[in-house]
Structure 1
Amino acid sequence: MSRPVIYVISDSLGETAEFVVQAAKSQFHDSDLEIRRIPYVMDEQTIHETIQAAREEEALIVFTLVVPELQCLLIEEAKKAEVPYIDLMGPMINGLASLLQRSPKKEPGLIHKLDAEYFRKVEAIEFAVKYDDGRDPRGIMHADVVLIGVSRTSKTPLSMYLAHKSLKVANVPLVPEVDPPDELFLIPQEKCIGLIIHPEQLTNIRRERLRSLGLASGASYANVERILEEIDYAEKVIRRVGCPRIDVSNKAVEETANLIMDILKGGGATT
């Protein structure tokens, strides 16, 4: 006796439907099924041919078609041929449409577009981690945006926030004792963002940081004269690079990130 056959028909890859079939199959001990996936079905001829084959083999059809015309055709022809079928997506889409009071897009393959966006985001996050705090200046040449500024101007939080927007971000601390990497002067000016901050606020932030670490607040890191020196140096580097600048004083990370994205789009002014 030949193995029972299930035809999986989809207007995309058909992975979702096959996964559901495999999950259902696991509930039947020692079941021996043959699953034949028919992906990217966008024409009537393929549907007719698959239904004919399913009729001859007494097979079951499982489908995830979102184009209404193809859905209706498959159901109509399957009924005529007395071929059993299961619509995996239709009831769910109809249920969500009723719940959300909105019409579905009815576009094939959207889940894979979302997957692509997800992987771009993961790649951007890995990039931000790898090129955080000037660890490797080579990342500057491959970044979508490079953030420069003194310590505690939110470079790392901004990098991670922007990475979740699928932007590859490198950030470089500006320290008087360390020359800025040459790569900063080789990239387009608009890809670099200088972050500045009021000296008084930076002093308070650094002193709080020292206290949280259990260190004396009078250390050089939070010394006013040292901070003024660092800010002056950072201003000189930012002017030399010629890049846009944002004053992050009293700004939330989200607010600064939105300003950066506006600048990257060419519609934002420096503040």
Structure 2
Amino acid sequence: MNAKQTIHIHLISDATGETIHLLARAALGKFAATKAIEHVWTLVRTMDHLDVIKKEISDHGGVVFYSMSDPDIRAAIEQFCQQQQTPYLSILDPAVRTLSQVLGKTATARVGAQHKMDEAYFNRMEALEFAVHHDDGQAMSSVHNADILLVGVSRSSKTPTSIYLANRGYKVANYPLVPGITPPIELMKNKDVLVVGLINEARRLSQIRRNRLESMNAEENMEYADIRKINDELNQAIKLFKEQGWPIIDVSRKSIEETAAEIINIYTQWIEEKT
């Protein structure tokens, strides 16, 4: 079997394409050192649009992943791929078939149904607004309204993790630990808010901070990236987290998604223990 290092992937969706893109990326992550050239086609709802896509598939080959509610367009995609001998997969079909068997009913063919503006959608929007207003230690007087409070030294992925969690519907605030400034512990002590401490490897933090200073043309503040001072910051942070009994997550070799998943697991267990 000859291993390919580059592959063309055609992602065809009648909605935003977000779901199919995430699933394709997850699958590609299982194949190291493989470069994917993505051809993303969204809001595909006419045969004319599909004709343009067919030419791209014919020119580049590869594999086709699609999510399509319209049975005629779906059939046209499958027929064309069979003619071209191009591998294809309706990426949601396995999950839909399983749910259909368990629920004992067929799926409804509604375009973009997962993006409907329901209560969950508005809860996510509210959570995103909350995360922005409570970023980097802002509005700590109302932190009691949060589900989760992330605490950590500078550049420990607090903000991106907060935004990611907000997109999952969690109200998240974050607070930066700054040398010489005493954190408002009393405001953080709330039985209805889960506080999580984030840490990062000293060497990685030093490099991240150094890159940030250089991008800002602020090399005169290189003390901020001094590894000895960073070690002191981390030691003080860990001491605080342990004193307060807060769970600690090392984000050093984790993606934002992995860190968020770990926080969600901790939060779920914390909620169960409370009830």
Q: TM-score, normalised by structure 2?
A: 0.56
Cross-structure match for 1:261 = 264
**What SS class does the counterpart of residue 236 from structure 2 fall into?**
helix
Is residue 148–residue 171 contact of structure 1 (8 Å, CA) maintained in 2? yes
Deviation at 1:238, TM superposition (A): 0.8
- In structure 1, what residue type is equivalent to 2:151? I
2:170 is aligned with 1:167: yes
2:208 is aligned with 1:205: yes
Distance 1:136 1:244 in 2: 23
Cross-structure match for 1:48 = none
- In structure 1, what residue type is equivalent to 2:225? A
Is residue 124–residue 169 contact of structure 2 (8 Å, CA) maintained in 1? yes
- 1:122-133, aligned counterparts within 5 Å? 122-133=125-136
Cross-structure match for 1:187 = 191
Structure 1: give runs of 5+ residues left out of the alignment: 1-91
Among all aligned residue pairs of Structure 1 and Structure 2, give the percentage whose two residues are the same amino acid.
40
Is residue 139–residue 170 contact of structure 1 (8 Å, CA) maintained in 2? no
Distance 1:220 1:166, change over 3 A: same
- In structure 2, what residue type is equivalent to 1:186? N
2:145 is aligned with 1:142: yes
- In structure 2, what residue type is equivalent to 1:161? Y
**What SS class does the counterpart of residue 118 from structure 2 fall into?**
helix
Cross-structure match for 1:222 = 225
**What SS class does the counterpart of residue 219 from structure 2 fall into?**
coil
Q: TM-score, normalised by structure 1?
A: 0.57
Is residue 193–residue 246 contact of structure 1 (8 Å, CA) maintained in 2? yes
- In structure 1, what residue type is equivalent to 2:202? P
Distance 1:186 1:132 in 2: 18
Distance 2:70 2:203 in 1: 58
**What SS class does the counterpart of residue 249 from structure 2 fall into?**
strand
- 1:148-159, aligned counterparts within 5 Å? 148-159=151-162
Distance 1:241 1:225, change over 3 A: same
Distance 1:111 1:198, change over 3 A: closer
Deviation at 1:114, TM superposition (A): 4.7
Distance 1:225 1:115, change over 3 A: same
- Pick the structure with greater CA Rg: 1
User: Which contiguous aligned blocks of 4+ residues in structure 1 show a shift greater than 6 angstroms?
Assistant: 98-101, 110-113
Distance 1:111 1:196, change over 3 A: closer
Is residue 147–residue 192 contact of structure 2 (8 Å, CA) maintained in 1? no
Distance 1:188 1:211, change over 3 A: same
Distance 1:120 1:200, change over 3 A: same
**What SS class does the counterpart of residue 178 from structure 1 fall into?**
coil
Cross-structure match for 2:52 = none
Cross-structure match for 1:248 = 251
- In structure 1, what residue type is equivalent to 2:190? L
Distance 1:218 1:129, change over 3 A: closer
Distance 2:69 2:176 in 1: 50
2:175 is aligned with 1:177: no
- In structure 2, what residue type is equivalent to 1:235? I
Distance 1:128 1:164, change over 3 A: same
Is residue 196–residue 246 contact of structure 1 (8 Å, CA) maintained in 2? yes
Deviation at 1:160, TM superposition (A): 0.4
